[in-house]
A and B are shown apart, each in its own frame.
Chain A
Amino acid sequence: MWQRIRLEPSRFALHFAVLFIVALWTFPTAGLLVSSLRDKDQIAASGWWTALSTSEQSSQARTKGNADQVEKDGRFVIAGNLFEGDSAHSSLSAWGTNVNKPGANLPGATAELGSGQTLTVNADGSYEWGSATAFPDERGRRVFYVSSVPPRFTAENYETVLFSEGIGRSFVNSLTVTIPATIIPILIAAFAAYALAWMKLPGRGFIIAVIVGLLVVPLQMSLIPLLKLYNATGFLSKTYLGIWLAHTGFGLPFAIYLLRSYVAGLPKDLIESAQVDGANDFKIFRRIILPLSFPALASFAIFQFLWVWNDLLVAIVFLGSGEDQLVLTGRLNSLLGSRGGNWEILTASAFITIIVPLIVFFSLQRYFVRGLLAGSVKGG
């Protein structure tokens, strides 16, 4: 349709414009993903967009001491490799013995160090330190060098956050909150939706109007009274049951609204046919409504799952902040405070918190979009 109406000047500009917008939208997330996989020193040293290029890095190393000296042709020589024990470096582009001039010599050059000492450092990091007299010092000499560091990607950051920063534990906590907080409202809302769509009951129109009104009630209205209520009852305070019920309550208006409009759209004949066939409402619900409403149930499930998984407010109000209750968003929030500058921790943690929603989102995008449309396009 609209494709056929040509927007001149050119298709090229159109493709370019979309490409630009897409880049704008994906760049921030790409930065997160790339950084979370980089070596932590590299994250701090260079922008993530340079992650694939070799970077220059100034380092220092110490040669071996006099214990390793050998006498050769009347000279004492200590030989070794500056890169020893550090495989990250590949080649050395300049070196020096003075901290102020780390790039004074080229690789392969020999520097006179005075008192008959010479030092040669090669590009591969090997060195030869020679002296006319025996080396007196046990400690070696410091050598400064500029090396080019090849890009290094690692899963270390993930290991760190999963096992030492508590992200792993929080992941399980998040699942414990999310799964029941998704399934319970689906069940409750599906039954209610069927009742409101097909069963004879007084005040149906009024109940529907109230639910539509509740759709937009801000969560903030509920927090204080519920906090008081929870504290008063005790058994709901800081428990998983408490947060499941809270998420269920907050999710219900949308769930009932979405499911009711879908269920009401099912063919009337089917339900009447089942009635004539002798099925009661509970059976009609189980055997006819539930299987046929799968797309709507899936839509809502995705919504609720994402909403609960991504929620911070409800979690910090209704759950405790202990190890066994802190969910991913809460953990990430506290890491932002305590590990503000440690981007390797933050990016890896953030990526773990968003990976589940992304998987859900990509695998079930069709249902997600359908749910969005059902919930939003009215009369349009």
Chain B
Amino acid sequence: MADIRLTDLNKSYGAIHILKDVSLDITSGEFIVFVGPSGCGKSTLLRSICGLESITSGTLEIDHAVVNEVPPSKRGIAMVFQSYALYPHMSVYENIGFALENQGLPRAEIKQKVEKVADMLQLTPYLTRLPKALSGGQRQRVAIGRAIVRGAKVFLFDEPLSNLDAALRVQTRMEIAKLKRSMPKTTMIYVTHDQVEAMTLADRIVVLQAGRVEQVGTPMELYDRPANTFVAGFIGSPKMNLITGEPAARHKAHTLGVRPEHFELSAATGEIKGMVEYTEVLGSDSFLYVATPQGLLTVREEGKTAFKPGDTVHVTPAAALVHRFGEDGKRLA
């Protein structure tokens, strides 16, 4: 059991303010993903929870105990680094067993635990190998094995898939999801800049920008009810269209957010008139880039499209599915 509570957490390096009043409640067993553009402070936040960065002000509680000053090894956490941080001169066995060795466990117990984890992660044949003799996916599993073997209550992942190629990334993503299911009581916090990873893995997503929490919610909450234009633009692919001016005013909003899949297209009539500038036909769906007085809009059409560049089209937002934002960028009702 490990609840994590962050209250008004601040972190600055000299004059540079990295984290600003971050408050967050994480319930035991949750899979939380921190997502945001690079430089938003998500890694710093993770490292603060880990204890690798000190907190400038505010409190961090794990299981209702303030741990601001507690060194990483005493926080009951494990971390999977972006580079995996496997010790290059130690065998897989030694890598997994290093933390246990530091706890002063007897040899036999270390052996038993390491072998159990290795078995779980299909690493048994590789125990005597050095990390350099492993494939990318195997290294990833060793890194996870190191976290598992410690029986930590909280797992922290710092962009663990960014070093893998695209195919392996999808596969490993599924393995991490499976791992989470097999450890329902373990809290996992995962940092990524890839919103697909966030959407597919998270119980709840924390969207960060410039050191602030923009929104916290389940993937679908974020998709369906983005709290502001930043989240609206960040979650979903391709990006949500953010339209200002007359079409927005028609919906009583300063900014109107319409996802590409929430438009209706017509050659003859519609709310916004424009010209097809460019099309991308992917087979299962097609994307049209429509030049309008309000800027370039992205429109998704199922299957193939009949429109060609140069055609005049009218697009109409599906009224029930539009997002309305005020002048301050916040969601209206």
A residues apposed to B, CB below 8 Å? 267, 269-270, 272-279, 283, 287-288, 291-292
Do the beta carbons of B88 and A278 come within 8 Å of each other?
A: no
Knowing A272-B52, A283-B102, A292-B88, say if A277 contacts B146 (CB, 8 Å): yes
Do the beta carbons of B89 and A267 come within 8 Å of each other?
A: no
Q: How far is the CB of B101 from chain A (nearest CB, A)?
A: 9
Q: How far is the CB of A199 from chain B (nearest CB, A)?
A: 13
* Residues of B with C-beta under 8 A to A288: 87
Q: Which residue of A lies closest to B53 (CB)?
A: A272
Do the beta carbons of B102 and A278 come within 8 Å of each other?
A: yes
Q: How far is the CB of B44 from chain A (nearest CB, A)?
A: 13
How far is B86's CA from A269's CA once the two chains are assembled, in angstroms?
A: 9
Do the beta carbons of B102 and A275 come within 8 Å of each other?
A: no
How far is B166's CA from A123's CA once the two chains are assembled, in angstroms?
A: 90
Do the beta carbons of B71 and A269 come within 8 Å of each other?
A: no
Knowing A275-B52, A277-B98, A279-B98, say if A291 contacts B89 (CB, 8 Å): yes
B82 within 8 A of A: yes
How far is B150's CA from A274's CA once the two chains are assembled, in angstroms?
A: 13
Q: How far is the CB of B142 from chain A (nearest CB, A)?
A: 12
The 6 A-B pairs of least Cβ separation, nearest first, read A278-B73, A273-B85, A269-B85, A277-B99, A278-B102, A269-B81
* Residues of B with C-beta under 8 A to A270: 85, 87
Q: Which residue of B lies closest to A200 (CB)?
A: B54
* Residues of A with C-beta under 8 A to B81: 269, 272-273
* Residues of A with C-beta under 8 A to B88: 292
B38 within 8 A of A: no
Q: Which residue of A lies closest to B82 (CB)?
A: A269
B213 within 8 A of A: no
Provide a sorted-by-A list of 7 A–B residue pairs whose CB atoms are within 8 angstroms: A270-B87, A273-B79, A276-B73, A276-B79, A277-B102, A278-B73, A279-B98
* Residues of A with C-beta under 8 A to B102: 277-279, 283
* CB-contacts of B145-162 with A (<8 A): 146, 150
How far is B86's CA from A292's CA once the two chains are assembled, in angstroms?
A: 12
* Residues of A with C-beta under 8 A to B50: 276
Do the beta carbons of A278 and B85 come within 8 Å of each other?
A: no
Q: Which residue of B lies closest to A266 (CB)?
A: B88
* Residues of A with C-beta under 8 A to B73: 275-279
Category for how many chain B residues contact A:
20 to 34
How far is B22's CA from A224's CA once the two chains are assembled, in angstroms?
A: 61
Q: Which residue of B lies closest to A290 (CB)?
A: B89
Q: How far is the CB of B71 from chain A (nearest CB, A)?
A: 7
Q: Which residue of A lies closest to B102 (CB)?
A: A278
Do the beta carbons of A269 and B78 come within 8 Å of each other?
A: no
How far is B92's CA from A298's CA once the two chains are assembled, in angstroms?
A: 26
B112 within 8 A of A: no
Do the beta carbons of A276 and B78 come within 8 Å of each other?
A: yes
Q: Which residue of A lies closest to B146 (CB)?
A: A277
Pick the contact of A276: B52, B83, B87, B103 (CB < 8 A).
B52
B77 within 8 A of A: yes
How far is B184's CA from A2's CA once the two chains are assembled, in angstroms?
A: 61
How far is B50's CA from A288's CA once the two chains are assembled, in angstroms?
A: 20
Q: Supply 20 further A-B pairs (C-beta < 8 A) apart from A276-B79, A277-B98, A277-B150.
A: A269-B84, A272-B52, A273-B81, A274-B87, A274-B98, A275-B72, A275-B73, A276-B51, A276-B72, A276-B77, A277-B73, A277-B99, A277-B102, A278-B73, A278-B103, A279-B102, A287-B87, A288-B87, A292-B88, A292-B89
How far is B102's CA from A287's CA once the two chains are assembled, in angstroms?
A: 11
* Residues of A with C-beta under 8 A to B103: 278
* Residues of B with C-beta under 8 A to A292: 88-89
Contact with A along B221-259 (1 / 0, CB 8 A): 000000000000000000000000000000000000000
How far is B84's CA from A276's CA once the two chains are assembled, in angstroms?
A: 13
Q: Which residue of B lies closest to A294 (CB)?
A: B89
Q: How far is the CB of A275 from chain B (nearest CB, A)?
A: 5
How far is B64's CA from A200's CA once the two chains are assembled, in angstroms?
A: 29
How far is B99's CA from A272's CA once the two chains are assembled, in angstroms?
A: 12
How far is B88's CA from A35's CA once the two chains are assembled, in angstroms?
A: 50
* CB-contacts of B283-331 with A (<8 A): none
How far is B102's CA from A292's CA once the two chains are assembled, in angstroms?
A: 19
* Residues of B with C-beta under 8 A to A273: 79, 81, 85, 87, 146
Do the beta carbons of A267 and B72 come within 8 Å of each other?
A: no
* CB-contacts of B70-129 with A (<8 A): 71-73, 77-79, 81-85, 87-89, 98-99, 102-103
Q: How far is the CB of B159 from chain A (nearest CB, A)?
A: 11
Q: How far is the CB of A274 from chain B (nearest CB, A)?
A: 7
Q: How far is the CB of A17 from chain B (nearest CB, A)?
A: 43
Knowing A272-B52, A291-B89, say if A278 contacts B99 (CB, 8 Å): yes
How far is B78's CA from A277's CA once the two chains are assembled, in angstroms?
A: 8
* Residues of B with C-beta under 8 A to A272: 52, 72, 79, 81, 85
Q: How far is the CB of A225 from chain B (nearest CB, A)?
A: 41
Q: Which residue of A lies closest to B84 (CB)?
A: A269
Q: Which residue of A lies closest to B50 (CB)?
A: A276
* Residues of A with C-beta under 8 A to B84: 269
Contact with A along B24-41 (1 / 0, CB 8 A): 000000000000000000
How far is B143's CA from A277's CA once the two chains are assembled, in angstroms?
A: 12
Q: How far is the CB of B160 from chain A (nearest CB, A)?
A: 12
Q: How far is the CB of B86 from chain A (nearest CB, A)?
A: 8
Q: How far is the CB of A291 from chain B (nearest CB, A)?
A: 4
How far is B130's CA from A292's CA once the two chains are assembled, in angstroms?
A: 13
Contact with A along B162-197 (1 / 0, CB 8 A): 000000000000000000000000000000000000
How far is B88's CA from A47's CA once the two chains are assembled, in angstroms?
A: 56
